[in-house]
């Protein structure tokens, strides 16, 4: 359990909407999501997709009071949110008994459609109850009975008391009966036998909602016409037929139905044809595309989360300290500054750095920028590299191997509010786990650098163990093998024999099967879904279906393991990263 404790310390999937609202912090992503249009949230696990989706529900909106924007959003949100959590059991063909149903024609598909529709219906009942009890505060039983009579008829429920809680109960009973019938089919039917199923297997949630919602609005006299948003969460676990149906519906003909969808960064290639066709929805026109990993307010959002754990008058720089590598103080490059001292120290022991500065016409006796242009173009770029090389390298003399310092904790490199707010790549679940652990181990007041470093190192190791447990199928290597080689390659770029102003710290997945096999592509995709690799060159207004020819970086959370600055530099090909050099020569991942 310790292995992934930091990942489950805060998981919105297991929380009721009211509980989600208690710690909710507004973000630009949420501002986009509450608009009166179709929306798609894309992001890795733990990035906050489920939190945002649950915040669209009435219980969450009415329990949210921690932000000045809460009341305005609550009063003016233009739709009712119907939250639907994807259930792995919808994808019948991927279940253990899926292959056993292949001999029975379309039966598995019918079960999958039934499971999805049943879950949408129960979620709609929840939404009706929330509107009636929280917004309308209407206890008129006659109206509920009239509504439920329509639901019972539309959903073909027999012998059901016309109350919403009993309608939900009847739907759940029906789901259980279908699960039992599946077992009967497997054990008692022969392949090719005709399987007679009741009509309710053929119910469509879309046409049903189009029928039911206007009746609800009429019965309860809802004059202010809001739209209704179907909020399908974690679609990466949904059957492909449902994903195709929902993404095609982004150009829905029904004016009062919206679709709010969440999924992994890389969409299945099976969706590419329909989404990129002339009739497919286009980002910016038909749908708002929200890519969590390229949000511009990630670091500010992270600081808001950190601050929520501290007294309201706390100063984050005072509590966590500041990191000279990443802060932007005006005197960073002046004579006598910390960075100035780092440069002098590195000049005296690293001949490659000394030569680099001389080639750039920098006075090595007094290495300060001569103008603002040199400061912006040269000094800002090399600052992290100088700090890292000076810390880890003891001596680097031409024609000799680099001599590294004996290992000790790099507390100055991996501590400070700039590092804490950056290292999680805007992932709130990771950040909440890290900050909770750091604060719980402190005695109050300012937090020691060592405590910060130790917790970041522990989290990095534990997260690596989580990634190691991801199934890799028939591959004889793992996602960790790729992370190791990529991490070591980037480490050598920073701490190798030659000082590089533009080291490689990102990789481009080769667009060639000969260089990068499909099984490696599949592992990269799994790593992207888990947040181990971060997609960099994704366009705000386009869907991503392939990872070949796309640029990625390692999650910053791994940087502490490979002595890499939290900074994006140049790119190299993945195939280059997957070949390591040692005393014996080249060692390839493929060998």
| Domain annotation covers residue 23 | no
**190 and 290 within one domain:** yes
Q: What is the DSSP track for 482-526?
A: HHHHHHHHHHHHHHSSS--SS-EEEEE--S-TTTS-HHHHHHHHH
**Whether residue 342 is found in the same domain as residue 490:** no
Say yes or no: 333 and 236 in one domain.
no
Q: Are 388 and 495 in contact (CB under 8 A)?
A: yes
Written as six digits, the tokens of 477 are 């290597």
Query: Helix 351-359 and helix 338-349: axis angle, to 10°?
Result: 110
Domain count, the chain: 3
Same domain, 501 and 367: no
The boundaries of the domain holding residue 539 are 470-591
**Are the CB atoms for 124 and 231 separated by under 8 Å?**
no
Domain boundary residue, one of 362, 379, 404: 404
Read off φ and ψ for residue 119, nearest 5 degrees. Answer: -70, -35
Interatomic CA distance for residues 119 and 114, integer angstroms: 9
DSSP class of residue 581 equals E
Task: Give SS3 for 539.
Answer: coil
Q: Which residue blocks in 288-365 are alpha helix, DSSP H?
A: 298-307, 316-320, 338-349, 351-359
**Pairwise CA distance, residues 536 & 538, whole Å:** 6
Residue 266 resides in a domain: yes
Alpha helices in 189-295 (DSSP H): 205-219, 240-248, 272-275
Closest by Cα among 131, 196, 197 to 164 = 131
The answer to whether residues 386 and 252 belong to one domain is no
14 within a domain of the structure (yes/no): no
Residues 265 and 223 occupy one common structural domain: yes
CA distance from start to end of the chain: 34
Final residue belonging to a domain, choices 404, 419, 447: 404
Give yes or no: residues 38 and 125 share one domain.
Answer: yes
How many degrees, rounded to 5, is the angle at CA 478 between CA 298 and CA 570?
A: 45
Do 110 and 259 lie in one domain? The reply is yes
Domain assignment present for residue 196? The answer is: yes
User: Do 95 and 53 meet the contact criterion of CB atoms below 8 Å apart?
Assistant: no
3 state DSSP class of 396? strand
What's the pLDDT at 343? 96
pLDDT of residue 329: 81
355 within a domain of the structure (yes/no): yes
Cβ-contact 326, 449 below 8 angstroms: no
420 in any annotated domain: no
Domain closes at, from 404, 419, 441: 404
Statement to judge: residues 190 and 66 lie in one domain: yes
How confident is the prediction along the chain (591 residues), in pLDDT tens digits per residue?
A: 343 454 445 566 778 889 999 889 999 999 999 999 999 999 998 888 999 999 999 999 999 998 889 999 999 999 999 999 998 888 776 666 667 777 777 888 899 999 999 999 999 999 999 999 999 998 899 999 999 999 999 999 999 999 999 999 999 999 999 989 988 888 888 887 888 899 999 999 999 999 999 999 999 999 878 999 999 999 999 999 999 999 988 876 667 899 999 999 999 988 988 888 877 778 877 899 999 887 777 888 999 999 999 988 899 999 999 999 999 887 889 999 999 999 999 999 999 999 999 999 999 999 999 998 999 899 999 999 999 999 999 999 877 789 998 878 899 999 999 999 999 998 888 899 899 999 988 777 789 999 999 999 999 999 999 999 888 777 778 999 999 999 999 999 999 999 999 999 999 999 988 888 888 999 999 999 999 999 998 776 788 898 999 999 999 999 999 999 999 999 999 999 998 644 433 445 554
Say how far apart CA 39 and CA 259 lie, in whole Å.
6
Residue 474, domain member (yes or no): yes
- Give tens-digit pLDDT for 395-438: 998 777 899 988 788 999 999 999 999 999 988 888 998 999 99
Instruction: Using DSSP, state whether 297 is helix, strand or coil.
Output: coil
* Same domain (yes/no): 369, 229: no
pTM of the model: 0.88
Tell me if 240 is assigned to some domain.
yes
Q: What is the pLDDT of residue 514?
A: 80
397 and 491 co-located in one domain: no
Residues 164 and 252 in one domain: yes
């Amino acid at each position: 359990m310790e292995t992934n404790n930091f990942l489950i310390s805060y998981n919105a999937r297991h929380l009721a909407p009211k509980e989600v609202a208690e710690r909710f912090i507004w973000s630009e992503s949420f501002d986009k999501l509450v608009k009166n249009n179709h929306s798609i949230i894309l992001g890795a696990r733990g990035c906050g997709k489920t939190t945002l989706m649950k915040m669209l529900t009435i219980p969450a909106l009415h329990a949210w009071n921690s932000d000045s924007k809460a009341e305005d959003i609550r009063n003016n949100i233009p739709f009712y949110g119907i939250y639907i959590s994807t259930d792995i059991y919808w994808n019948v063909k991927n279940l253990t008994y899926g292959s056993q149903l292949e001999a029975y024609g379309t039966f598995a598909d019918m079960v999958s459609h039934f499971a999805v529709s049943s879950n949408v219906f129960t979620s709609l009942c929840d939404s009706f109850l929330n509107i009636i009890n929280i917004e309308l505060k209407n206890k008129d039983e006659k109206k509920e009975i009239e509504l439920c009579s329509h639901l019972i008829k539309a959903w073909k429920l027999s012998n059901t008391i016309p109350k919403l809680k009993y309608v939900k109960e009847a739907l759940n009973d029906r789901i259980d009966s279908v699960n039992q019938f599946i077992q009967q089919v497997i054990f008692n039917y022969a392949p090719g036998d005709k399987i007679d199923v009741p009509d309710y297997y053929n119910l469509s949630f879309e046409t049903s909602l189009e029928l039911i919602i206007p009746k609800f609005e009429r019965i309860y006299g809802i004059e202010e016409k809001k739209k209704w948003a179907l909020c399908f969460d974690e679609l990466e676990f949904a059957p492909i037929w449902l994903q195709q149906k929902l993404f095609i519906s982004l150009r829905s003909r029904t004016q009062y139905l919206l679709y709010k969808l969440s999924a992994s960064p890389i969409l299945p290639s099976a969706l590419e044809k329909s989404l990129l066709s002339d009739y497919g929805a286009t980002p910016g026109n038909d749908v708002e595309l929200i890519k969590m990993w390229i949000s511009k307010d990630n670091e500010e959002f992270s600081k808001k989360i950190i601050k929520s754990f501290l007294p309201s008058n706390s100063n984050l720089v005072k509590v966590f300290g500041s990191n000279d590598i990443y802060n932007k103080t005006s005197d960073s490059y002046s004579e006598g500054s910390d960075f100035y001292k780092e440069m002098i120290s590195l000049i005296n022991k690293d001949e490659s750095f000394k030569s680099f500065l001389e080639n750039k016409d920098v006075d090595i006796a007094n290495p300060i920028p001569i103008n603002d242009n040199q400061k912006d173009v040269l000094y800002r770029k090399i600052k992290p590299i100088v700090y890292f090389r000076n810390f880890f390298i003891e001596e680097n003399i031409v024609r000799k191997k680099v001599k590294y310092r004996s290992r000790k904790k790099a507390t100055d490199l991996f501590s400070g509010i700039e590092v804490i707010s950056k290292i999680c790549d805007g992932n709130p679940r990771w950040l909440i786990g890290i900050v909770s652990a750091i604060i719980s181990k402190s005695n109050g007041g300012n937090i020691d650098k060592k405590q910060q470093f130790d917790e970041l190192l522990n989290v990095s190791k534990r997260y690596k163990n989580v990634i190691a447990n991801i199934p890799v199928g028939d591959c004889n290597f793992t996602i960790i093998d790729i992370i190791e080689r990529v991490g070591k390659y980037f480490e050598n770029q920073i701490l190798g024999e030659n000082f590089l102003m533009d080291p490689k710290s990102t990789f481009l997945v080769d667009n060639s099967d000969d260089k990068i096999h499909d099984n490696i592509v599949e592992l990269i995709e799994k790593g992207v879904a888990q947040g181990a690799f971060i997609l960099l060159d994704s366009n705000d207004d386009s869907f991503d279906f392939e990872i070949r020819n796309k640029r990625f970086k390692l999650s910053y959370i791994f940087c502490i393991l490979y002595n890499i600055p939290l900074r994006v530099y140049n790119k190299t090909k993945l195939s280059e990263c997957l070949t390591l050099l040692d005393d014996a020569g080249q060692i390839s991942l493929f060998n």
